[in-house]
């Protein structure tokens, strides 16, 4: 009859379970300290364990849910009435933006016309004046 080595298998399973729990707790602590988003999937990936294993550990599951709630960004709060823009205020802002757009369009139109005028004037110049730089008066004395 073979020797009963089941106690060795049980001990190995306990060691493996303890090591898995340590990895999960350490991963959870690291993630919390780093401000990482705490989810079951992220903790499982960080610890190298399965999500189902974490879900089956009541204490770890409770801690993950507690940390998730603590790190959760609150839903956008409604703006208090006194800080909300009134319809009249929004209309004034819209009118001001429309007026500014019209001013910019007029300015763009003037600039385009000036550019076109400059291009026409350049085109009307004789060929020899287009590409030659303006002449500077040369000094008789020369450089010092």
What is the pTM assigned to this prediction? Answer: 0.46
**pLDDT band (50, 70, 90) for residue 125:** confident
**pLDDT band (50, 70, 90) for residue 3:** confident
DSSP assignments along the chain, one per residue: -----HHHHHHHHHHHHHHHHHHHHHHHHHHHHHT----HHHHHHHHT--HHHHHT-HHHHHHHHHHHHHHPPPPPPPPPGGGSPPHHHHHHHHHHHHHHHHHHHHHHHHHHHHHHHHHHHHHHS-HHHHHSPPPPPPPSS---
Would you say residue 135 has pLDDT above 70? no
Q: Hey, which of 73-82, 91-100, 135-144 has the most confident mean pLDDT? A: 91-100
Q: What is the pLDDT of residues 52-87, one digit of tens each?
A: 999 999 999 999 999 888 766 556 667 676 677 888
Percent of the chain topping pLDDT 70:
81
Cβ partners under 8 Å of residue 49, min gap 6: 20, 23, 24
């Amino acid at each position: 009859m073979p020797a009963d080595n089941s106690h060795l298998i049980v001990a190995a399973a306990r060691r493996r379970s303890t090591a898995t729990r340590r990895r999960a707790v350490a991963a959870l602590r690291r993630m919390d300290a780093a401000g990482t988003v705490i989810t079951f999937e992220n903790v499982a990936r960080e610890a190298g364990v399965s999500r189902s294993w974490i879900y089956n550990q009541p204490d770890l599951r409770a801690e993950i849910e507690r940390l998730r709630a603590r790190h959760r960004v609150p839903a956008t709060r409604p703006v208090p009435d006194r800080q909300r823009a009134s319809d009249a205020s929004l209309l004034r802002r819209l009118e001001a933006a429309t007026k500014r757009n019209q001013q910019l369009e007029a300015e763009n139109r003037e600039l385009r016309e000036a550019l076109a005028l400059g291009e026409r004037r350049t085109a009307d110049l004789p060929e020899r004046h287009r590409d030659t730089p303006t002449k500077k008066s040369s000094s008789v004395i020369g450089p010092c």
